Structure 1
Amino acid sequence: MTADHPAPPASLEGVSRGAGPGSASIRIFTSMDEAEAMWRAAERSLIHTAFQTYEWLATWVETLGTEVAITPLIVLVEEGERPVMLIPLGRAKRRGIATITFLGGEVTDYHAPLVAADWQDRLAPAGFAPLWTRILAALPRADLLRLGQMPEDILGVPNPFASLPGARPSDVALSLRLPANVEDFRRGLRSNLASDTRRKRRRLAEIGAVEHAVARTPEEMSAAVAAMADRKSRRFLETTGKDPFARPAFRAFYDRMSQRVPGDGAVQASVLRVGGEVVAAHWGVVHRGRFYYLMIGWSAGEWFRYSVGRILIDALIAAAIEDRLEVFDLTIGDEAYKSDWANERLTLLALNLALSPAGRVVLAAEAARHALRERAKRVQWLRALVRRLAGRKPLTDGG
């Protein structure tokens, strides 16, 4: 495969790609509009997370997808007229290197296909690998395949990509299986966490009425999104030196997703107020009995010592229990504060493959850079050199 292979045709919709194991057929759609009716129908029967809904990925394609000029490659696998899988891929080209990846980019915590609960039985005995070989052959040529943040199972159903050679653990996600009532939830917390949270909430109440308010109108939604983004921007700058909300497409994703028609998979935005002042805000999604905790921001200054972010998380979990949801999904990352709340752990996988000689050069260069960084962590002068070449300040003696 070569990097200068022509781009895909305007549409491959309706094209079946060859015979293979079992009776599965493959169709590929190259636009979200063409795929919409099929996709929405597939959502009704296939297992998926909130990140694989048409609403989520169509919003991403029309906002952040424009930054990378991605062409959707939506793969529908059918057995007869029954969908078995829908795989939301895309192809983008940067610096002459064409890459196939999942749609959804940086705002999507779980990248995965939509799958039938019995996909293994329906593809047996051949399994997924021969079908994946057929899919790769049907896709437009590319140099790299990059698939990351793939859950090893999709809401209890094995992820077909987890069985492919080269799929390796890359991260974890944490979640909380919700109890029947708020009292049981709080009894299950570490005693010092529960007591400190109660104490700080009492201290906040001495300042003013403490209120957790969920946005119910478009105006309230816009205000809650703005409150979250403003506070999250400050935190991004403090921790990474970069604010993704400064990118118009990044902010547009959250604004547009927030104004989609409510329903299953709808955004929930809320704020924590103390004495009428917003001190923290959260943006997440509720989908099929699962609350996805995604973006939280809190006020700095005097509010920091009251742990207002933690107070808001506690309120979010309590509200999810009262709404009779099943899982509070803290999503990707095993930060210490998430471990305070979680009781379930999910391994996330990555699969990076070279599909051309140019792709092999790219992956080899990345492996060399990774090895250099690992060595630099152990060799002080080399670590200083790497930081200087990256334009970063040298480390002090204290590290």
Structure 2
Amino acid sequence: MLDLAARNSNRPILLEATDRFDFGSDEYRRLFPNASASAFQHPDWLTAFYRNVAPAHDAEPLVVTGRDSGGELQLLVPLVRRKSGDAAGSIEYASLGVTDYVCPILATGIRVGQQTAQHFRDVLGLHAGLKIGPVHHSHLHQWRSLLGVEPSTLDFGAHAVRYGSPYSEWRRINLRPRRAAGLDRKARKLAEAGGLQLELVAPGDVRQALIAARDFRAGRFRGDPLQTAHGLEFYIDVATNGARSGLARTYRLASKDGPVAFVFGLVDGECFRYILLACDYGSYARYSPGFLVLDHVMAEWAADGGTIFDFTIGDERFKADFGCSRTTMHEFRL
């Protein structure tokens, strides 16, 4: 037992570690929507992660759960333990290069007391080290309370933009007149040459779309997880199930001759978290297809009531062209 208790209650919560947990279970589906977490902790994301990504990295599940005296799940921390390589025995968050924002899943109304850090370490047992990252600033307090240490700053940030209203006016200002006019001109030329339409990919068409996206990205990004068998299956898994649950959207910008570009991302309330971009630069480079598809997706998200477009982690220069603000990312180590 430890000093992690429900608000206005002295009932302690028991922490345990397990190598088996069903993220599609009723208890996790009850916890997640009532917890302070992000789309990267959604049942569909974590189920796909442990099915596809963890085994490919020779990492075994290590999930810390916290239940109240009635057995109700109140806290969960998804981790993995490395089984081989230089990091053998080490424990880290269930990220492995695909999860941009890591955080504990903590039920609303649960507070973390001062002795929690030691109990959390105890339940993990002997290990060669614990690494938690990348951590967005909005999740720093939770990790400080749970780990009892201060984070270090990573050498990359996250980038997001909040829309103004109306969207057309926000676009005119934030894309800068020259950039907006240039995109409009290229969109018109492409439409005149062969039509242009932004489509939401249906669940049954996701596999074909992401295979095409993988081929468009071949040789363009170092360490691209989409180029691996397990990475491709992971994103297909999330995108297919997420299209049904509302977690994920895969957009296709197409002309009469076929796909021009794809964008895949996660729906997180009023925020769209962009993850993958793939373009047919061989056929459409002169039209700036990357900028073009992102501009179209941002407009579509605003039309659907979205207020934030999150370009997630990475300091690529193009993000500044969309009026993004940078947030420092962090990492915790024990």
Q: Same fold (TM over 0.5)?
A: yes
- Residues 243 and 148 (structure 1 numbering): CA distance in 2 closer, same or farther, change over 3 Å? closer
Report the counterpart of residue 9 of structure 2 in structure 1.
none
1:48 aligns with 2:30: no
Does structure 2 retain, via aligned residues, the 8 Å contact 1:175–1:328? yes
Tell me how far apart the structure 2 counterparts of residues 65 and 140 of structure 1 sit (CA, whole Å).
20
Give, in angstroms, the shift of residue 290 of structure 1: 1.9
**1:141-160 correspondence runs (5 A):** 141-154=126-139, 159-160=141-142
Residue 222 of structure 1 pairs with residue 211 of structure 2? no
- Partner letter of residue 160 of structure 1? Q
| 1:315-326 aligned within 5 A | 315-326=296-307
Q: Is the 8 A contact 1:282 1:297 kept in 2?
A: yes
Give, in angstroms, the shift of residue 191 of structure 1.
2.0
For residue 191 of structure 1, what is the amino acid of its counterpart? P
Shift of residue 307, structure 1, vs aligned partner: 0.5
**1:295 pairs with 2:273:** no
Give the equivalent residue in structure 1 for 2:185: 199
SS of residue paired to 1:195: helix
The answer on whether the counterparts of 1:280 and 1:312 sit within 8 Å (CA) in structure 2 is: yes
Q: What SS does structure 2 have at the residue aligned with 1:107?
A: coil
1:61-210 → structure 2 map (5 Å cutoff): 61-78=50-67, 84-95=74-85, 97-119=88-110, 122-123=111-112, 126-127=113-114, 130-154=115-139, 159-162=141-144, 164-170=148-154, 171-189=156-174, 190-210=176-196
SS in 1 for 2:66: strand
Q: Note if 1:260 corresponds to 2:249.
A: no
Shift of 1:29: 3.1
Does the C-alpha gap of structure 1 residues 339 and 78 become closer, same or farther in structure 2, counting only changes over 3 Å?
A: farther
1:349-368 superposed matches below 5 A:
349-353=330-334
Aligned-pair CA distance for 1:21: 6.8
2:245 and 2:325 map into 1 onto residues whose CA distance is: 23
Confirm or deny that 1:329 pairs with 2:291.
no
For residue 345 of structure 1, report the CA deviation from its aligned partner.
3.1
TM-score (norm 1): 0.74
Deviation per CA, 1:311-338, whole angstroms, max 9, x where unpaired? 0000010010111123211100121111
**Do the aligned partners of 1:73 and 1:88 also contact (CA within 8 Å) in 2?**
yes
Determine the C-alpha separation between the residues in 2 that align with 1:73 and 1:37: 20
**1:84–1:152 distance in 2 versus 1, CA, 3 Å:** farther
Residues 223-255 of structure 1 deviation map (CA, whole Å, 9 limit, x = unaligned): 32122111122322xxx3x55434211111112
* Distance in 2 separating the partners of 1:37 and 1:71: 23
**1:31 partner SS:** coil
Counterpart amino acid of 2:82?
Answer: A
Counterpart Cα distance in 2 of 1:217 and 1:30: 30
RMSD of equivalent CA atoms:
2.4
Q: Deviations over 1:2-31 (max 9, x none)?
A: xxxxxxxxxxxxxxxx44476343133321
CA pair 324-296 structure 1, distance change in 2 beyond 3 A: same
User: 1:131 offset after TM fit, Å?
Assistant: 0.6
Among the aligned pairs, what percent are the same residue?
Answer: 24
Cα distance in 1, alignment partners of residues 118 and 188 from structure 2: 59
Cα 1:252–1:106 shift into 2, 3 Å: same
For residues 72 and 341 of structure 1, the distance between their equivalents in structure 2, rounded to whole angstroms, comes to: 38
Contact map agreement 2:201 2:250 (CA 8 A) in 1: yes
SS in 2 for 1:63: helix
Alpha carbons of structure 1 residues 191 and 68: separation in structure 2 relative to 1, 3 Å? same
**1:294, CA displacement in angstroms?**
0.5
Give, in whole Å, the separation in 2 of the partners of 1:31 and 1:265.
26
1:179 and 1:264 map into 2 onto residues whose CA distance is 28
Give the Cα separation in 1 of the matches to 2:302 and 2:138.
24
Residue 271 of structure 1 is matched in structure 2 by 252
Instruction: Tell me the SS of whatever aligns to 1:250.
Output: helix
Deviation at 1:217, TM superposition (A): 4.5
Contact 1:181 1:322 in 2 (8 A): no
Q: 1:181 Cα deviation (Å)?
A: 3.5
Is residue 24–residue 47 contact of structure 2 (8 Å, CA) maintained in 1? no
Which residue in 2 is equivalent to 1:396?
none
Q: Decide whether the 8 Å contact of 1:233 with 1:244 is kept in 2.
A: no
* CA apart distance, 1:34: 7.9
Which one-letter code corresponds to 1:140 in the other structure?
G
What is the CA–CA distance in structure 1 between the aligned matches of 2:226 and 2:34, rounded to whole Å? 35
TM-score normalised by structure 2 residue count: 0.87
